[in-house]
Amino acid sequence: MDELPALAALAYNQEGAAAHEAISGKEIRGIGDVEETVIEGVSRYSYGGIRVYRIPVESFPNHVTNVYLLVGGEPTLVDVGFNSETGRNDLERGFAVVCQGFGERVSLESVSNVVITHGHGDHFGMLEHPRLKGKRLFMSPPDTEVVREYQTEYQEWKQYVAKLAQEAGCQVDLDQLFGHDRLAFDGSDYQLIEVHDQQEIIGSGTVHHTPGHSPGHICLGCGPFLFLGDHLLSLTTPHQVPKSGWGGAGLRVYLDSLAKVARLGYALGLPAHEEVITSIEHRAKEVALFHQQRLAELHYLCRQEKSLYELTRDYYARHPELIQASSIDELVAGDFVLALEEIKAHVEYLLDEGRLLMVGGESGVPRYRSR
Ligand SMILES: [Zn+2]
């Protein structure tokens, strides 16, 4: 679940209000020195010899992943979406528009590299696609594990969710969670290359390690572009996970990674969902502020001690707009778990800062009180 701070939506609309020029179904606008051209839902961002195509791929119903195709050097895909039937059709149709609409000569087969920003299914699931297998695959550890050992990672994730629910003091029906317990590929189907911060890859790209949303999350810089994965989104605030469940992630490292991308100086942010970001620095500050406000509010709500479940329930009762429901109890199991994780990531931050105290965890259900 990603969340919508209304102020951020407004800010984007103002920034995005560049002049549009419509030419027979083709729309062109300038974003700084970058030219954006849109044909049939596929956007091209060009700067010098670098051309990036954004292909929207519906990974799950109502959940679109932006798959980016970089050409001008070795053809490279950044994130590939999930291998749903719609997603696969979207990807193939997108390549057809890139060729017929924009005049490129590129196919899934001619792509040399696949860069996966992080190990979440809506970013790597399409690796099942037989026409992608055999390529160089760039990812950062520990997120690479989900590609090497998907089945094991999936089982461990379910156990983790069971433990999280128990500790929160509530029930989660594990059978209602994301059900894809196997995927039709493993590490041996690709030339898997583990990448690290500042590494130069694919000829013209620089890896930036941005842990937080996941431990091995990376952004990829190329010319004026920064491929953001889920590190920074234009409208919603990327999901936060507790560091106790995801070693190397958590809110503190996420905020550090936000400050990091704000300093890098790339002109245009290309996120894996939603719209392009014309000021990475500005958007990163908005998202950081959002988390500071949430921390303050959770601290306030813990004047009376609460379990993680109670705190999550009470927080979202004050912010139904963030979950499109009046109570977390109405959410489907997967979203309910995301809500618990989100609040736990903030609770951990407050505990580390000494602003919360953990009390009465003897029953296996810790309770939190502000101090
Ligand atoms: Zn995502």
Mean local confidence (pLDDT), 68-78 = 95
The pTM for the full model equals 0.91
CA geometry: angle at 154 spanning 349 and 334, to 5°? Answer: 60
Q: What pLDDT is attached to residue 6?
A: 31
Lowest mean pLDDT among 28-37, 186-195, 292-301: 28-37
Judge whether residue 1 has pLDDT over 70.
no
304 occurs within a structural domain: no
In three-state secondary structure terms, 269 is strand
pLDDT digits (tens, 9 = 90+) for 173-182: 999 999 898 9
Judge whether residue 11 has pLDDT over 90.
no
User: How many angstroms does the Cα of residue 87 sit away from the middle of ligand 1?
Assistant: 14
362 occurs within a structural domain: no
Judge whether residue 312 has pLDDT over 50.
yes
User: How many angstroms does the Cα of residue 122 sit away from the middle of ligand 1?
Assistant: 5
Number of domains within the chain: 1
> What is the Cα gyration radius of the chain?
21
pLDDT band per the 50, 70, 90 thresholds, residue 19: very low
Query: Is residue 117 within 8 Å of 218, Cβ to Cβ?
Result: yes
User: How many angstroms does the Cα of residue 78 sit away from the middle of ligand 1?
Assistant: 12
Segments forming the whole domain that contains residue 228? 6-292
Q: What pLDDT is attached to residue 257?
A: 98
User: How many angstroms does the Cα of residue 239 sit away from the middle of ligand 1?
Assistant: 9
Report d(CA 312, CA 301) in Å as an integer.
10
User: How many angstroms does the Cα of residue 366 sit away from the middle of ligand 1?
Assistant: 30
222 occurs within a structural domain: yes
Q: What pLDDT is attached to residue 15?
A: 32
- We report the CATH number of the domain holding residue 282 as 3.60.15.10
User: How many angstroms does the Cα of residue 211 sit away from the middle of ligand 1?
Assistant: 14
Judge whether residue 332 has pLDDT over 50.
yes
368 occurs within a structural domain: no
pLDDT band per the 50, 70, 90 thresholds, residue 17: very low
344 occurs within a structural domain: no
Average pLDDT, the chain: 91
Report d(CA 305, CA 301) in Å as an integer.
8
Q: What's the burial of 75, exposed, middle or buried (CB within 10 Å: 0-12/13-18/19+)?
A: buried
User: How many angstroms does the Cα of residue 341 sit away from the middle of ligand 1?
Assistant: 16
Q: What pLDDT is attached to residue 27?
A: 81
35 occurs within a structural domain: yes
Sheet holding 205-209, edge to edge: 200-201, 205-209, 218-222, 225-229, 268-271
324 occurs within a structural domain: no
pLDDT digits (tens, 9 = 90+) for 208-240: 999 999 999 999 999 999 999 999 999 999 999
Q: What pLDDT is attached to residue 25?
A: 67
User: How many angstroms does the Cα of residue 363 sit away from the middle of ligand 1?
Assistant: 35
199 occurs within a structural domain: yes
Mean local confidence (pLDDT), 255-277 = 97
